[in-house]
Amino acid sequence: MIKTSTATTRTFLKRSFDRVRNEEWKKNVLQAIPFWIASIITGLVAVVYTRLFVLAESLTTFVFKQHEWWLFILTPVCFVGAWLMVKLFSPYARGSGIPQVMAAIEISNPNTDKKVSKLLSIRIIVVKMLSSLVMAIGGGAIGREGPTIQIAASIYKKINSLLPEWWPKLAKSSMIITGAAAGLAAAFNTPLGGIVFAIEELTKTHFSYFKTAIFSSVIIAGLTAQGILGPYLYLGYPKMGSLHNLIFLGVVVVAALSGLAGSIMSKIILRLMMWKARFKFNYQHVLYIVVCALIMATIACFIDYGILGSGKELMQQVLFTSDKYSIWYMPLLRIFGPILSFATGAAGGIFAPALGAGASIGSWVAGWFQSSETNTNLLILAGMVGFLTGVTRSPFTSTILVLEMTDRHNVIFQLILAGMVASLIAILIDKHSFYDHLKIMYIRDLDVEEQKEEEQKELEKA
């Protein structure tokens, strides 16, 4: 009798365990499906956006080669048009997109869906793409990587909002973080960079809570993009053979200069944005944007075309051609271009321009010593890491991104050194990153808008 009872208990417990295990497995699969769907969509959108952005930059080059004076019409029209799109249809589509994602993660809770929707939405996706593409046609010194991150986070948020009531609940912040990581991975073809970016820049909770979602999303988004574009590197394979024993001293110098320059550039853009915020009339904004556009067109026509565009062409030139040493004013132009472009208030990222500015500093310093090809390439990569770190204060993300763009893992220690030096130097200018300042600005703007809406409702009731 006792044996029968024991066997029955065991059978009952086994069936209960199997039922619980099956239910848990079913729940995990259901929770994973939205991430997988969003990942595929993100990869496809990233590919389309990439091709359109390349086409837009090619159009600028074509116009310049046909008749450089056309820039004096094309650039102002495009700059003003790009700003108007953002101003009229989606103010939070301006700029990079990464601070908006950071703000959305920070304020995300069940009571703030309306606020988060202003930062991440289908409208944001459309306006972000159109505004940044128009800026690129006008020769704006912007990138597509930051916008891709905001676009991807918007896709993930939208997929999450479409889930039926009975679907296992997913944390909105986890979806947004995962979307941002997948977006960066698809934009740069850097899966590890996307993961490290999510850990270093975005996460405020323990990574283990959603590490599987990030890994799978980054893989699927990256494979989707690779399936169409092929297994490309963002830059290529620069020569990195024998290096001088004392090259690490050059890495330190380049990292210090580029980290300092990146932080100063960020500070100037923030000051310009605060000054512009005091404009009371739209004509003041338009006048400012036209002046910025004309300055860029003038420099492009009379000094150097290199001020225009994302900076990728410059990176490829100094890494893969015999023309390895930048002229002394090129770092100034690659810093000045993003300042004029980003502060207009149109959409556009700063990742690629930061990498281009860092590359120009590294190649310029290499020219001081007439360094060998391999030593010059290392200094260029160090400058890229250093400048991006100066802007983002994310040395490990910057290092991993540059490593994955070039597949030069034999210099990982030198690039980590560059990131750490640049991070320490950048603190001398500002303790907080460019993105942190903008995130606070966006959260404050949302609070002000909410307060005005509540006051308006009170007036309507009265």
Is it the case that residue 256 has pLDDT exceeding 60?
Answer: yes
- DSSP letter (8 states) at residue 277: T
**CA 235 – CA 380 distance, rounded (Å):** 12
Supply the pLDDT for residue 13: 47
**CA 442 – CA 105 distance, rounded (Å):** 12
Supply the pLDDT for residue 25: 66
Q: Per the structure block, which two tokens stand in for 9?
A: 């208990």
- What mean pLDDT do residues 403-424 have? 90
- What mean pLDDT do residues 131-158 have? 94
Domains and CATH numbers, the chain: 36-229 (1.10.3080.10), 247-442 (1.10.3080.10)
pLDDT, tens digit, 9 for 90 and up, residues 391-400: 999 898 899 9
Assign 11 a pLDDT band (cuts: 50, 70, 90).
low
Helical (H) or strand (E) element with 75: helix 71-89
Percent pLDDT > 70 in the chain is 90
Is it the case that residue 238 has pLDDT exceeding 50?
Answer: yes
**CA 204 – CA 440 distance, rounded (Å):** 16
Is it the case that residue 203 has pLDDT exceeding 80?
Answer: no
Supply the pLDDT for residue 6: 61
Q: Per the structure block, which two tokens stand in for 72?
A: 């004096």
Assign 4 a pLDDT band (cuts: 50, 70, 90).
low
User: Of 21-25, 441-445, 455-459, where does the model show the most confidence?
Assistant: 441-445
- What mean pLDDT do residues 23-41 have? 80
pLDDT, tens digit, 9 for 90 and up, residues 340-351: 999 899 999 998
Average pLDDT, the chain: 87
Supply the pLDDT for residue 149: 93
- What mean pLDDT do residues 357-365 have? 96
Assign 234 a pLDDT band (cuts: 50, 70, 90).
confident
**CA 88 – CA 180 distance, rounded (Å):** 25
Supply the pLDDT for residue 151: 96
**CA 126 – CA 123 distance, rounded (Å):** 5
The dihedral region occupied by 237, where left means phi > 0, alpha psi between -120 and 50, and beta the remainder, is beta
Assign 355 a pLDDT band (cuts: 50, 70, 90).
very high
pLDDT, tens digit, 9 for 90 and up, residues 65-91: 888 899 999 999 999 999 999 999 999
In one letter, which amino acid is 391?
Answer: V
Q: Per the structure block, which two tokens stand in for 355?
A: 């990498």
Is it the case that residue 135 has pLDDT exceeding 60?
Answer: yes
Percent pLDDT > 90 in the chain is 54
Assign 8 a pLDDT band (cuts: 50, 70, 90).
low
- What mean pLDDT do residues 149-178 have? 87
End-to-end CA distance of the chain: 78
Q: What is the pTM of this model?
A: 0.89
φ, ψ of residue 121 in degrees (nearest 5): -165, 175
Assign 208 a pLDDT band (cuts: 50, 70, 90).
low
Per mean pLDDT, which range of 13-17, 23-27, 283-287 is the poorest?
13-17
- What mean pLDDT do residues 120-141 have? 96
